[in-house]
């Protein structure tokens, strides 16, 4: 990784911090793209190697545009879309999107497309095995404005969107002849603070017990992300733990649901995402050739 520039969103804690730590230790220049600069600086202070902290709030298109604008023309070898929100009470982003769909999918969708002309190597998006559990992609009401809000189903939808996004991004990259590849990963069951955003004391207590007894560490949870980032694998690969029910274990390539492989659904989600964010795919055969 020596001499390579890496951006990791949400890297002040959890598997994002663990991935950033590992990449910096291997010689990469790691940019921690975080909502809270103080927490980002505290995390960077624990890392060995070259790090930089920049502010990025994925729940705000204004913040995403500012981050991309400030980045300028610098090349990016690796973009890791790691930041995420999990099962909060119904909340809206600054732009009116349901928080999980807005942050986990739309925020990263906008960021990736804004930075894509600078990306030279790979885009890794962190999904979840939760895309399997009753997740649907409601393109008519993705922001839960008309139907009763269900936090777990909204989370599953956002993680399904991550995989559909990866597949459609890879299709578009291949179509224009770009050497960049898009991959995805999920951490299995890792002990992070992601599980403590429900706003429900009982749910948080259950998560605390599960983290203590069943979960793997942040560092082990980051291994599929690192595998998706550097292994010799094809575009649209999906990495996860190799153990029982993909909960823990060494990273390997794993499967996904038929819905997550639906190319037509992926294209329609992409079109909706462009409409909602005002951000479009920036590459063409001409720009790639140039």
Catalytic machinery residues:
155
Dump the DSSP string for 156-186: HHHHHHHHHHHHHHHHHHHHTT---EEEEE-
> Which is it for the CA torsion 126, 277, 259, 196, positive or negative?
positive
Contacts of 57 (CB under 8 A, 6+ apart): 35, 63, 64, 94
Q: Which two tokens stand for residue 271?
A: 């079109």
The residues facing 29 across adjacent strands are 5
Phi, psi of 31, deg, nearest 5: -100, 115
> E strands, the chain, where?
5-9, 29-34, 51-55, 76-81, 119-126, 181-185, 238-241, 251-253
d(CA 199, CA 203): 8
Q: Which one, of 190, 192, 83, 90, lies nearest residue 127 by Cα?
A: 83
The residues facing 30 across adjacent strands are 6, 51
């Amino acid at each position: 990784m020596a001499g390579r520039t890496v951006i990791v969103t949400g890297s002040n804690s959890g598997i994002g911090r663990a991935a950033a730590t590992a990449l910096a230790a291997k010689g990469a220049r790691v940019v921690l793209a975080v909502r809270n600069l103080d927490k980002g600086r505290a995390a960077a202070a624990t890392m060995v190697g070259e790090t930089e902290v920049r502010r990025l709030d994925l729940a705000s298109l204004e913040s995403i545009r500012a981050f991309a604008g400030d980045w300028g023309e610098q090349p990016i070898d690796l973009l890791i879309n790691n930041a995420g929100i999990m099962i909060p009470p119904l909340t809206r982003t600054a732009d009116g999107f349901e928080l999980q769909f807005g942050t986990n999918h739309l925020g990263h969708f906008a960021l990736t497309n804004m930075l894509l002309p600078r990306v030279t190597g790979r885009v890794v998006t962190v999904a979840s095995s939760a895309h399997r559990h009753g997740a649907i992609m409601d393109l008519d009401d993705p922001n839960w404005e008309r139907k009763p809000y269900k936090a777990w189903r909204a989370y599953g939808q956002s993680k399904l969107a991550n995989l559909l996004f990866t597949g459609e991004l890879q299709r578009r990259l291949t179509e224009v002849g770009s050497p960049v590849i898009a991959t995805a990963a999920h951490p299995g069951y890792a002990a992070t603070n992601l599980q403590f955003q429900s706003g429900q004391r009982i749910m948080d207590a259950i998560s605390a017990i599960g983290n203590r007894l069943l979960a793997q560490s942040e560092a082990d949870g980051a291994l599929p992300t690192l595998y998706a980032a550097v292994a010799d694998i094809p575009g649209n690969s999906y990495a996860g733990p190799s153990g029982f029910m993909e909960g823990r274990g060494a990273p390997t390539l794993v499967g996904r649901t038929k819905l997550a492989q639906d190319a037509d659904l992926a294209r329609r989600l992409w079109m909706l995402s462009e409409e909602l964010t005002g951000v479009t795919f920036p590459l063409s055969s001409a720009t790639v050739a140039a």
